[in-house]
Amino acid sequence: MTSQGQTGRSPGGALLALDQGTTNTKAVLVDATTGAVTAQASSPTSIAFPAPGWVEQDAEQLWTATLTAVERCLEQAPEVRVLGIGISSQRETAVCWSRSTGRALGPALGWQDARTAAWCADLAEREPGAAATIRRRTGLSLDPMFSAPKFRAAIDAASAAGAPLSDIAVGTVDAWLLWRLTGRHVTDLGNASRTLLLDLPSLRWHDELLSLFGIDPVHLPEPCPSDASFGVTTECLGRMPAGVPVLAVLADSHAALYHHGCTVPGTGKATYGTGTSVMSPTADAGGAPHGIATTVAWHVAGRPTYAREGNIVASGSALDWMASTLGVPEGTAGGAYLEALATGVPDSGGACFVPAFSGLGAPYWDRSAVGVLSGVTAGTTRGQLARAALEAVAHQVADVVEAMESDGSTRIGTLHADGGATASGTLMQIQSDLLGRPLDVASSPAASALGAARLAAEQLGVAVPVATPGRHVTPHPCAVDDRRRAWSQAIARSRGLPVSQAHPANSEQTSQQTSQQTSEQITERNHP
């Protein structure tokens, strides 16, 4: 949404967009007549790593941070009338709560949480066809990142702690917020498609999937279109009276796609956050190339839009790691420090950094991969290492885009970019060079919230123009083959493979080879 204004009916008042993310909740107020952002605020959320591979958030805090962000936002516009709410939220994270008390039962299991890796491995072992069935029905891989194994673990834990089964509700973060806002146990189809339980063609929880994960559907929310009537707020929330309708719900990455106006095949975006999500709408619900997921982007005006997606596990976190390892001076932001170092050198001097902190996500899906810093010599400088970190992010995105387009059925013309790391002009230029295509970089850091606001506005008859990009980046003519080759070799080292098997196209073969190894490598085996 931009300051350009809207077309169509002008209802007056404002839309409140919420973006509940991993590190904070944002609240953005958008004028329903002009389409302009009139106020915004955020409130941080904490994250805990209580054991290796475990990532937890306090579900109650996800809610209170949302209330705080709303209050901070509305106090900037005390007279405003909120006409409706749009929600975008972090995906896959599993929340478990009591229907009778409305309180969380245990911590939220974060999307990065991999505690169920062994459980997933065991499922693949016990049911040899399970991974293929899951991939065929859901478009996803059997991986602990997704919600179903976390739901299973949360229900077991709540039940073991004494909660009656009939009282236990689970859902992704959108469902949790909707429960607290409206008292309804519902979820949007985009979020539902990240659980491993939604059958993509029928858009319903599927018995075969429920039975694989041992989940009784009685615990689950009802999947709804993204523009459904999600209910109205049941209580006064600070300055906001009760009775405000929730008009739109989208998963965060999907909301950013909507904000960019990427609604048809051939368009696409990358959201550079802790990890990076590359998404592009696709004409059908199946057939994505190896290592790439198919997901419901949204269900609007009575029909679903599907998208291909590749999730990169470490991008912003890789930049943070490199910045703190190089020693960020006090008072300087890590990103700005890396940028200043990297702009001082023309290239990485042969250094390659593969940030496989907890394995590699798309398109490799190899949880056994390890972090690698290669090509380092006695002459390697801080600037070159900073550059290698930025290149690592751009190479991973290029790997995903290449995999997404590998069957020849789609080609993204201009890649839209949003998220914190887009502040790096060096990264954006490297990205454009490696892909050999232009980038449109979002002007707002709140692309997901604005996507939810846009869909909510449309429910009021307000057609909001697509966001105007802040920057257009065009590729420099340069030789990228050597850089891509060096990166592929570093990936092979990270995966413990001969460098000849470095390219993602070889993943199928390598997954079979590595599948005979340790149980930690089971997630690789699970990606058909």
Ligand X SMILES: O=P(O)(O)OC[C@H](O)CO
**Site residues, ligand X (CB under 6 A):** 21-22, 90-92, 111, 252-253, 273-274
How many Cβ atoms sit within 10 Å of the Cβ of residue 431? 29
What is the closest distance, in whole angstroms, from the C-beta atom of residue 252 to ligand X in the complex?
A: 5
Tell me whether residue 273 or residue 469 sits nearer to ligand X (CB atom). Answer: 273
Q: What is the DSSP string of 430-460?
A: HHHHHHTS-EEE-S-S-HHHHHHHHHHHHHT
Cβ 51 to ligand X, closest distance in Å?
A: 20
Q: How far is the CB of 528 from ligand X (least distance, A)?
A: 21
- CB of 359 vs ligand X, minimal distance in Å: 16
* Whole-angstrom distance, CA of residue 223 vs CA of residue 207: 15
Q: Which is nearer to ligand X, 59 or 351 (CB)?
A: 59
Alpha-carbon separation of residue 148 from 90, 134, 143, 248 (angstroms): 15, 11, 10, 24
Between 45 and 267, CB nearer to ligand X: 45
Q: How far is the CB of 47 from ligand X (least distance, A)?
A: 10
Which 3 state secondary structure label does DSSP give 260?
A: coil
The smaller minimum CB distance to ligand X, of residues 20 and 233, is found at 20
What is the Cα–Cα distance from 194 to 427, expressed in whole angstroms?
29
Instruction: Select 90 or 521, whichever has its Cβ closest to ligand X.
Output: 90
Shortest spacing between CB 110 and ligand X, in angstroms: 9
Angle at CA of residue 143, ends 140 and 148, nearest 5°: 80
274 vs 511, which CB is nearer to ligand X? 274
Residue 13: CB atoms within 10 A of its CB come to 15
Nearer to ligand X, 21 or 304 (CB): 21
The least distance separating ligand X from the CB of residue 144, rounded to whole angstroms, comes to: 13
Q: How far apart are CA 511 and CA 289, in angstroms?
A: 15
Closer CB to ligand X, 113 or 252, in the complex? 252
Report in angstroms how near the CB of residue 261 gets to ligand X at its nearest.
Answer: 20
Report how far residue 155's alpha carbon sits from residue 170's, in angstroms, rounded to the nearest whole number: 8
Q: How far apart (Å, rounded) are the C-alpha atoms in residues 107 and 84?
A: 29
DSSP assigned state of 359: B
Residue pair 96/154 in contact by the 8 Å Cβ criterion: yes
Q: At what angle do helices 316-326 and 334-342 cross, to 10 degrees?
A: 80
First to last CA, the chain: 39
Residue number with CB closer to ligand X (254 or 387): 254
**CB atoms near residue 368 (< 10 Å):** 18
Q: What is the DSSP letter of 479?
A: -
Cβ 25 to ligand X shortest distance, Å: 10
Nearest Cα to Cα of residue 185 among 176, 197, 198, 173: 176
Q: Which is nearer to ligand X, 92 or 458 (CB)?
A: 92
What's the closest the beta carbon of residue 445 comes to ligand X, in angstroms? 11
Q: How distant, in Å, are the alpha carbons of 229, 261, 362, 398 from that of 277? A: 28, 16, 9, 12
